[in-house]
Structure 1
Amino acid sequence: MLNLHAWQRCLDAEFGAPEPGHYRAQPEDFVVDEQLDFTPENHGEHLWLRLEKRHQTTLDVVKSLSCLCGVAPREVGYSGMKDRVAVTRQWLSVHLPGREAPSDLSVSLAALGITVLAQARHPRKLKRGVHRSNHFTLRLSGEALQGNHFYDRWEALCRQGVPNYFGPQRFGPGGRNLQRAEALFAKGWRKRDDRQGMMLSTARSFLFNELLSERLADGTWCQPLAGDTLMLDGTHSVFTVDAVDNNLLDRAAALDIHPTGALWGVGELADYHVADYEKRLLACHPMLCEGLLKSGVKRSHRALRARLISPSIETLPNAVVLSFALPRGSFATAVVNELIAHPDVA
Structure 2
Amino acid sequence: MIPLPLAFGAPLFTHARIRSTPEDFQVDELPSFEASGEGEHLLLDIRKRDANTQHVAKRLADWAGLPEMAVSYAGMKDRHAVTTQRFSVHLPKRVAPDLAGLASDEIEVLSSTWHNRKLQRGALAGNRFKLVLREVDGDAGAISERLQQIALRGLPNWFGEQRFGRDGGNVPAALAMFAGRRVRKDQRSLLLSAARSALFNQVLAARVEQGSWDQPLDGEVWMLDGSRSVFGPEPWSDVLAERLGRFDIHPSGPLWGAGELRSVDAARELELGAIGDEQSLELRAGLEAAGLKQERRALRLRPALLQHQWLQQDVLELSFALPPGCYATAVLHELGPVS
Question: TM class by shorter-chain length?
Answer: over 0.9
From 271, 283, 288, the counterpart of 1:293? 288
- Asked if 1 retains the 8 angstrom alpha-carbon contact of 2:41 and 2:116, the reply is yes
Map of 1:136 onto structure 2:
129
CA-CA distance at 1:147 after TM superposition: 5.5
In structure 2, the CA distance between the partners of 1:195 and 1:22, relative to structure 1 (3 Å rule), is closer
Q: Which residue of structure 2 aligns with residue 258 of structure 1?
A: 250
Distance 1:192 1:169, change over 3 A: closer
Contact 2:74 2:123 in 1 (8 A): yes
Q: Deviations over 1:84-133 (max 9, x none)?
A: 11110011000001141112x3x232225200001000011101001011
Verify the 8 A CA contact 2:41 2:115 in the aligned structure 1: yes
Mapped contact 1:225–1:243 kept (Cα < 8 A): no
What TM-score do the two structures reach when normalised by structure 2?
0.94
Which amino acid in structure 1 is aligned with residue 295 of structure 2?
A: S
> Which residue identity does 2:31 align to in structure 1?
L
Q: Distance in 2 between matches of 1:252 and 1:144?
A: 35
Structure 2, unaligned stretches of length 5 or more? Answer: none
Q: After the TM superposition, which of the residue ranges 132-141 and 89-98 deviates more from structure 2?
A: 132-141
SS at match of 2:276: helix
Query: 2: CA distance between counterparts of 1:215 and 1:115?
Result: 43
TM superposition shift of 1:301: 0.9
Shift of 1:194: 5.3
Q: Percent identity?
A: 41
* Alignment map for 1:1-346 (pairs within 5 Å): 4-12=1-9, 16-19=10-13, 20-103=15-98, 105=99, 107-111=100-104, 113-146=106-139, 149-187=142-180, 197-269=189-261, 270-284=263-277, 285-318=280-313, 319-342=315-338, 344=339
Residue identity opposite 1:59 in structure 2: Q
Deviation at 1:195, TM superposition (A): 6.1
CA distance in 1, matches of 2:29, 2:273: 37
Q: Contact 1:140 / 1:320 at 8 angstroms: preserved in 2?
A: yes
SS in 2 for 1:187: coil
Question: Could you tell me how far apart the structure 2 residues matched to 1:84 and 1:75 are?
Answer: 22
Moved >4 Å (runs of 4+): 190-196
What's the TM-score, normalizing by structure 1? 0.92
Distance 2:282 2:109 in 1: 45
Native 8 Å contact 1:160 1:255 kept in 2: no
What do the CA deviations read for 1:305-332 (whole angstroms, capped 9, x no partner)?
A: 1111122222322322211110000000
Per the TM alignment, residue 148 of structure 1 is displaced from its structure 2 partner at its CA by 5.3
Q: Aligned residues, how many?
A: 334
Aligned letter for 1:267? G
Question: In 2, Cα distance between the equivalents of 1:254 and 1:227?
Answer: 21
CA contact (8 A) 1:144 1:340 kept: no
Deviation, 1:235, is 2.5
The one-letter amino acid paired with 2:30 is Q
Distance 1:194 1:278, change over 3 A: farther
Q: For residues 82 and 215 of structure 1, do their structure 2 counterparts lie closer, same or farther at Cα, with a shift above 3 Å needed?
A: same
Q: Is the 8 A contact 2:250 2:298 kept in 1?
A: yes
Which residue identity lines up with residue 201 of structure 2 in the other structure?
A: N
Deviations 1:234-289 (A, max 9, x none): 23222112322233233223322110111000121121111112222442111001
Whichever residue aligns with residue 161 of structure 1, its letter is: G
The separation in 2 between residues aligned to 1:33 and 1:7, in whole angstroms, is 27
